[in-house]
Amino acid sequence: MSVAERSAREQRLANASALVDRCRKCEIGSIRTNAVYGEGDACAAVLVVGEGPGETEDAQGRPFIGRAGQLLERMLAAIGLAREDVFIANTVKCRPTFDDGVRLRNRAPSPDEMANCRPYLDEQIEIIRPRAILCLGAPAAKSFLGPKFSISKQRGQWFDGPNGTPVIATFHPAYILRLTGGEVEATKRLVWADLKALRTRLDAPEVSPVAEEPVPEQPGLFGS
């Protein structure tokens, strides 16, 4: 990856993030404290996609920084990836909330909110061109693989995602944190298997049918 290519991608992501900051396509765009565009390496091999920002993320404008984020970092570290090595995004960039009369509470993003936000996620995929997309939880996986996707039955398997990008899903770290008793270890074992499948794919040689960047012309180098 050339320095120029990296900085072009970073610039495109920064521009897109500024657009998301101004986005008011959904009501939650006006309720949120901060949009959470996503963050990480513009040239990451792995794009991690969660469901949507929670309270802490909304307050700070950064994805996965609460307890679920800490577990995500440990999950990534288990396969040799630092948080900075990947790009972390969500299916929606604003915190979906409802008012319970006392305070704003988290809720799942609605289909309309996910559809409104989808172009931003597609653009992130187009800019970053990851080698794999890791979906955390069923909503993220369903957004790529359709409503019939079953996280319990189909996690850990590879699917063709946007532009043929390989997609794999595992359990959401927030879900793991809610488990109790023997379910915790059993689920962590499944997640570990999914993460190993991701590591194996990353370690496989990259098959690239198209050269990444045009080879610059070097007039005269092989001339007479």
Which residues in this chain contact ligand URA in the complex, by CB under 6 A?
A: 50-54, 57, 63-64, 68, 90, 174
The residue type of 145 is L
* Cβ pair 57, 145 in contact under 8 A: no
Which residue lies nearest ligand URA, judged by its C-beta?
Answer: 50
- DSSP-H helix ranges across the chain: 3-22, 28-31, 55-60, 67-78, 111-128, 138-145, 151-154, 173-178, 182-203
Least distance to ligand URA, CB of residue 40, Å: 12
* Cβ pair 136, 48 in contact under 8 A: yes
Q: In the complex with ligand URA, which residue's Cβ is closer, 52 or 156?
A: 52
Whose tokens are 């299916």? That residue is: 91
Least distance to ligand URA, CB of residue 158, Å: 21
Q: In the complex with ligand URA, which residue's Cβ is closer, 5 or 174?
A: 174
Least distance to ligand URA, CB of residue 67, Å: 9
Least distance to ligand URA, CB of residue 215, Å: 39
* Cβ pair 45, 79 in contact under 8 A: no
Q: In the complex with ligand URA, which residue's Cβ is closer, 11 or 143?
A: 143
Q: Is residue 167 within a helix (H) or strand (E), and if so which, with residue range?
A: strand 166-170
**Coil, strand or helix at 87:** strand
Q: In the complex with ligand URA, which residue's Cβ is closer, 39 or 165?
A: 39
Q: In the complex with ligand URA, which residue's Cβ is closer, 21 or 212?
A: 21
Nearest of 40, 68, 41, 71 to residue 52 by alpha carbon: 68
Least distance to ligand URA, CB of residue 213, Å: 32
